[in-house]
Amino acid sequence: MIGDAFVFDGVAHPFNFEADNARGPAGQMFSNHLYAFHTVLTPEGQPLMSADEFLHRWTPEEIHQMVYENSDTDMLVAMPLPLTDLYKDGLSPWTECAKMAERDPDRTVMWGTVNPLEGQRALDEVTRQVEEFGAKAFKFYNVRYEDGGQVPWRMDDPGVAFPVFERMQELGVNLVGVHKGVPLGPQMIEHTQTWDMDGAADAFPDINFVIYHVGLPFLDETCWQLIRFPNLYASLAATINFVVRAPRQFAEILGKLLFWCGEDKIVYGSEAPIWQPQWALQAFWDFEIPQDLVEGYGYPPLTEQAKRKILGENLLRLHGMDVEETVARLGRPAA
């Protein structure tokens, strides 16, 4: 815990950046973009990895040490990536996420992932990952890279996405995360827009959808969606890391989210190992919305209650976990 806040990290990836895992220049570009994020947003005085140190195959043990031993994190989502068109194993393979959950079963939650464009195979994989490996939610990307170019798909597509969501519901899973904004590698920015979330949220009111990276740079559009659909949420993953290097920018992002959708619909994610979690956690716990933004734009102040919800309580509820019981069982006193 940090302060009196239970910390449930909504995303960490066991990346495999080995050179032979990338499928050509597109995969290499994607890896280099992630490393650029690491170098640009890591503050002075914090551990900064060389390219060789960063671009390797991260093990579950390394992620465990970074997140649990070197930060005030209490629980973690082991988050896979389905980028099998860019990497042989998808870059963050769900099988490694299953190992992370097996290593720390009380604290680490496994999410699954599939490519809905694969039709019946995707449905079978949803069933397998839930029934055999205990996946509690699923993470999606809305574009594939094929020989003929990019092949996008939409979250509101009745023929592609909806059968996957229906299979999830049949298996008792009602939590979905989707990468939005933050175009990486050769991905066209239009395929990262959030326009398809309205239709998905409307068609599946019993599924909670988390828009990762708060849809940046489409923040205003995301806010208008969050306020209109009760089952849409926003993840600060990769966004919270602006808190030290660009605190004013972070204040405006967070202020808009608090103004439009409130403290109950925002969740935290570290994106480890792109960044060490502790410096952003500490900076966020100490952070306040500048008074001129509160007075000039009507942004709510960032209270300790809001911080507790964002850092852990909201994500616990999305997983159907009792907050008080989980905090009592797993929370540890602040150092």
Is residue 133 within 8 Å of residue 98, measured between CB atoms? Answer: yes
Tokens of 265: 């619909």
Look at residue 3 in the predicted model and tell me its pLDDT: 87
Indicate if the pLDDT at residue 192 is higher than 90: no
User: CB neighbours of 63 closer than 8 A, spacing ≥ 6?
Assistant: 12, 13, 14, 78, 100, 272, 273
- Is the pLDDT score of 208 beyond 60? yes
pTM, entire model: 0.93
What average pLDDT does range 74-97 have in this prediction? 92
Taking the CB of residue 47, how many other CB atoms lie within 10 A of it?
13
Q: What was the pLDDT predicted at 112?
A: 97
> Residue 176: phi, psi to the nearest 5?
-130, 135
Pair 273, 13: CB distance under 8 Å: yes
- pLDDT single digits (tens) 218-257: 999 999 999 999 999 999 999 999 999 999 999 999 999 9
Mean of all residue pLDDT scores within the chain: 93
Write down the pLDDT at residue 147: 59
Average pLDDT in the 169-185 region?
92
Residue 117 has pLDDT above 50, yes or no: yes
> Residue 124: which residues within 8 A CB-CB, separation 6 or more?
none
Residue 188 banded pLDDT, cuts 50, 70, 90: confident
Residue boundaries of the structural domains of the chain: 8-330
CATH number given to 8-330: 3.20.20.140
Q: Check pLDDT > 90 for residue 167.
A: yes
How many Å apart are CA 139 and CA 233, to the nearest integer? 14
Per-residue pLDDT band at 335 (split at 50, 70, 90)? very low
pLDDT exceeds 70 at position 146: no
> 333 pLDDT exceeds 70?
no
Residue 148 has pLDDT above 60, yes or no: no
Q: Give residue-wise pLDDT tens across range 35-64.
A: 999 999 999 999 899 999 999 999 999 999
